[in-house]
Amino acid sequence: MNTAKVIPFRRDHPEQPAPMRNAVVALGGGGARGLAHLGVLEVLKQTRVQVERYVGTSIGALIGAMCAVDDNIQRVQGKVMGFLDSPGFDHHQQQLFGSANVPDENANTGIMAWYDRAKYLYSAHRRLTRAVTQQSLLHDAMLTASIEELIPDIEFADLSMPLSIVAADLRSGHRVVLESGSVRTAIHASMALPGIFPPVEHNGMLLCDIGVVDSIPTAVASAYASDLTILVDIGQRNARMEKFDTAMDVMMRMQDIGEQILRREKTELADVHIRPELTGVSWFDFQNPEEVMERGRTAASEEFARHSFFRTGRTGHADAATGNHLDVQPPSENVRYR
C-alpha cells in the first residue's frame, strides 16, 4: 500500500533546518558599559546567525576590532580581563581619576554623565587653564597605550572580518566611517572623547568620538546588511532631572535629550535591538567586568528567544528572510566613508 496516498500529509523526508542567517552587528558607545558587548557576542556565537561585519562607535569600535582580529570570543574576553587586571591599566585609571573618590553618576544619563565627569576633571585635576588654552583636559598617552595593548599594529585589509569604525570630523562636521589604513588610529579617533582627549589628525580630518551625540551606529550597519541588522545599545537610560542651576546645565541637558531622541529613531533601523540592563554601571566603572558581561549575556538570551531565526527550524520573520535591507543606502548627508 502506498501510504503517501492514504496519508497525504506525510512527508517522505523530514523538514530541513532553516539556513544560516547573516548579520551586521552595530556596537554602540558607553565606556566600561561596553564590556556587555562581550557577553552579547558570546551568546550570538551560539546561534545560527553568522556575523558578516562589525560596525562600532567608541568602545564598540574597540570591541568590534578585537573580534575582527580574533573570531574566538573566549580568547577576546580573556585578553580584556587580563588587561583590566594588569598594573598598566591600574596606572591609567590613576592618571585619569587621581586618588580622589569617584563621584556618583547614577542619577545622570547620556551626555550628562560625560558632563559630570568633565566637571569632576576640572576640579580634581585643576585643569581650568588647560581647558581654555588647549584642545583637551588629558593627554592621549593612556588611550594610545590601552589600544596598543589590545590591538595589533595592523590595517583594515589584514582583518579576518570586515570592520567599520565611526567617528566625527570636527572640521567638516560630518560623520566619518573609517574602513582603511591603521586600525589602531581609527579606534583612537573613535574613542577620543571631545574635550577630554585630544582629537586625532588623520588624512586631513580632525577626528573625535561621536558617541556623545550619536552613540549607536545603526544607520551605517543597516546600509551594509544583506540580511539582518543587530544593534547592541549600551547607552544610559534617560532619567528625570529637576535642577538646572546654570546656562551650561540647560544646554547640556538639551544635548542629552537630543541624543536620546536620535537613539530611539536609530533603533528602528535594526531587526534586533539588544539593550542590556546596566543601571548603576558608570562609563568609567571597570570594577566588575564579569558582572557587566553577564548582563550582556542575559539581555542577548532574552532577545534572541523572541526571534525564531536564531534557532533551528523554520524562520518566522518574513521581512528578514527576504533580505529587506539589501537596497538600503547609507545616508548621503553628513556621512563620509574613508
Annotate 47-101 with DSSP letters as a single string.
SSEEEEEEEEETHHHHHHHHHHH---HHHHHHHHHHHHTSHHHHHHHHHHHTTSP
- CA distance linking residue 251 with residue 274, whole number of Å: 30
Q: Would you state the pLDDT for residue 92?
A: 66
- CA distance linking residue 286 with residue 164, whole number of Å: 25
Residues of the chain with pLDDT under 70: 1-18, 91-139, 248, 252, 311-338
Q: Would you state the pLDDT for residue 19?
A: 74
Q: Would you state the pLDDT for residue 338?
A: 60
Q: Would you state the pLDDT for residue 126?
A: 45
Q: Would you state the pLDDT for residue 316?
A: 36
Task: Summarize pLDDT for 75-90 with one digit per residue, the tens.
Answer: 999 999 999 998 877 7
Instruction: Indicate the DSSP class of residue 162.
Output: -
Element (H, E) at 166: strand 163-169
Catalytic residues: 58, 209
Q: From 291, 292, 310, select the one nearest 301 (Cα to Cα).
A: 310
- CA distance linking residue 163 with residue 22, whole number of Å: 15
For the question of whether the overall pTM of this predicted structure is more than 0.85, the answer is no
Element (H, E) at 206: strand 205-208
SS3 290: helix
Q: Would you state the pLDDT for residue 235?
A: 84
Q: Report yes or no: 46 and 197 within 8 Å, Cβ to Cβ.
A: no
CATH superfamily placement of domain 27-94+136-306: Cytosolic phospholipase A2 catalytic domain (3.40.1090.10)
Q: How far is CA 211 from the centre of its chain?
A: 9
Q: Would you state the pLDDT for residue 241?
A: 80
Q: Would you state the pLDDT for residue 131?
A: 43
Find all residues with CB under 8 Å of 218, minimum gap 6, and list them.
26, 229, 231, 266, 267, 269, 270
Q: How far is CA 244 from the centre of its chain?
A: 30
Q: Would you state the pLDDT for residue 231?
A: 97
